[in-house]
Amino acid sequence: MVAGLVFALLSLPQLCSCSATFRALLEEVDANETNATMTTTTTTVAQGSCTPKDTDFWAEPSYGLCCEGLEKCTERRPKDDEFYCDASDPNHESSCWSYADMCRTSCPCTPANEDYYDPAYDFGRCCDGLEKCLEKRPESNSVYCPDSDPGHEITCWSHIEICRSSCGSVSWVRISGEMGISLEEDSLGLLSDASAIKAVGSSLARAFGVGESSLTVAVSQDEARRLAAQNITLSYTIDLSAESADAANSWAENLKGTISTFEVESLTLAINDNLESLGYSLSVLSFSPIEVETIATDSGSGSDSGDGSGATSSDGSSGPTASGGSDDEENGSVMQSQLFIFTMLLLFVTKMDQAQA
């Protein structure tokens, strides 16, 4: 063994000149190890030890991996699920959950020009090809407030994060309209119930294919008339945004045309499905968009990545040491060479011992 090591040291120049041979030997060892690992994984999946498509990742029996071709996706848990509870529940994430991990062929995502945190999506990711952009929230938005407001970042916000194809200038437009409804006497409480009004807005948002946070419903009559009348007029607004004024207005006009084709019976069913748990019901008598108006234009604040400081040097390189790292790179290269030579020596001596045995 000692003689072999001495011989290896004396042969160092030759070893260096033949480094390609030893590198190939190392790669062969790594390949063997990799093949062994891949074989184990394939065998496990073939035996059915994986969670199939559209199944809860943690459902018993839990295998710890989705089947081949699937990915684990975090989604909102349906409210009628036996393990569902709101995030405010004392047992949340102990014996009940507001979210679920599911195995899907592809994970759901927030589409272009929609609020990243909108309840209708809230998947924690923008769709492929999009990035999350931090933008000023229009002051006319229903949940806008300045950052000096006591409720800022709690019940109202001065900014909004939206999924865009690129972060930059943005234009906001608003569709305004009215909806006539009829209420039975036992459902008049809906008019003063904020949860019920919100449920109406959520139903309309889903029907029109827009984010819940972009659509606001309000009762346009004063309190006295609200309590006396059974035929009510609700006003609604839909705030939309796109990366140009033309695109925003085009989207709004197309949506306005789509809304005009909705039948009141379909809207009635959609809304009542959402109101049933609250004990209310209504009938939609009329529904019409009134106008489209531009409400804001913003130059954008860029994507919400890192700490937002944009620590980039004038030549485009990142970080304070990007242009002065040559010494570190050279030292790292020397250390890698030394480690490589030492590894070759060990392999050489081991091979010699095996040959002598």
- Please write down the HEC assignment for all residues of the chain: CHHHHHHHHHCHHHHHHCHHHHHHHHHHHHHHHHHHHHHHHHHHHHCCCCECCCCECCCCCCCCCECCCCEEEEEECCCCCCCECCCCCCCECCCEECEEEEEECCCCCECCCCECCCCCCCCCCECCCCEEEEEECCCCCCCECCCCCCCECCCEECEEEEEECCCCCEEEEEEEEEEEEEECHHHHHHHHCHHHHHHHHHHHHHHHCCCHHHEEEEECCCHHHHHHCCEEEEEEEEEEEECCHHHHHHHHHHHHHHHHCCCHHHHHHHHHHHHHHHCCCEEEEEEEEEEEEEEEEECCCCECCCCCCCCECCCCCECCCCCCCHHHHHHHHHHHHHHHHHHHHHHHHHHHHHHHC
User: Per the domain annotation, does 323 fall within a domain?
Assistant: no
Q: Above 60 in pLDDT, residue 255?
A: yes
**156 shares a domain with 200:** yes
Tokens encoding 302: 């860029």
Q: Note the pLDDT of residue 143.
A: 85
**145 shares a domain with 84:** no
**249 shares a domain with 188:** yes
Q: pLDDT per residue over 264-282, tens digit each?
A: 999 999 999 989 999 999 9
% residues pLDDT > 90 (the chain): 22
195 Cα distance to chain centroid: 26
**218 shares a domain with 143:** yes
**154 shares a domain with 281:** yes
**Confidence class for position 336, pLDDT limits 50, 70, 90:** low
**116 shares a domain with 60:** no
Segment 125-150 mean pLDDT:
89
Q: Note the pLDDT of residue 47.
A: 43
User: Per the domain annotation, does 318 fall within a domain?
Assistant: no
Cβ atoms of 146 and 159 within 8 Å: the answer is no
Q: Note the pLDDT of residue 212.
A: 85
Q: Note the pLDDT of residue 37.
A: 32
State the Cα–Cα distance between residues 152 and 104, nearest whole angstrom.
36
The residue from 90, 108, 126 where one domain ends is 108
Q: pLDDT per residue over 55-104, tens digit each?
A: 999 888 878 889 999 989 888 888 888 899 988 899 998 999 988 899 99
More confident residue, 94 or 320: 94
**Confidence class for position 354, pLDDT limits 50, 70, 90:** low
Q: Note the pLDDT of residue 123.
A: 78
**211 shares a domain with 63:** no
Q: Which amino acid is at 39?
A: T
Q: Above 90 in pLDDT, residue 328?
A: no
Q: Note the pLDDT of residue 229.
A: 58
Average pLDDT, the chain: 74
Q: Which range among 220-234, 239-253, 286-300 has the greatest average pLDDT?
A: 239-253
Q: Note the pLDDT of residue 159.
A: 92
Q: Note the pLDDT of residue 305.
A: 40
Segment 22-39 mean pLDDT:
40
User: Per the domain annotation, does 146 fall within a domain?
Assistant: yes
Cβ atoms of 78 and 172 within 8 Å: the answer is no
The residue from 298, 322, 349 where one domain ends is 298
User: Per the domain annotation, does 24 fall within a domain?
Assistant: no
Q: Note the pLDDT of residue 285.
A: 92
User: Per the domain annotation, does 33 fall within a domain?
Assistant: no
Q: Say how many domains are in the chain.
A: 2
User: Per the domain annotation, does 332 fall within a domain?
Assistant: no
User: Per the domain annotation, does 63 fall within a domain?
Assistant: yes
**Confidence class for position 340, pLDDT limits 50, 70, 90:** low
**163 shares a domain with 70:** no
State the Cα–Cα distance between residues 312 and 326, nearest whole angstrom.
18
Segment 145-174 mean pLDDT:
90
**160 shares a domain with 232:** yes
**68 shares a domain with 143:** no
Strand order in the sheet with 170-183: 215-219, 231-242, 170-183, 282-298
The residue from 65, 80, 108 where one domain ends is 108
**190 shares a domain with 165:** yes
**184 shares a domain with 72:** no
Q: Note the pLDDT of residue 222.
A: 53
- Residue 186 lies in domain: 109-298
Q: Above 50 in pLDDT, residue 235?
A: yes
Q: pLDDT per residue over 163-199, tens digit each?
A: 999 888 889 999 998 898 998 888 888 888 888 998 9
User: Per the domain annotation, does 304 fall within a domain?
Assistant: no
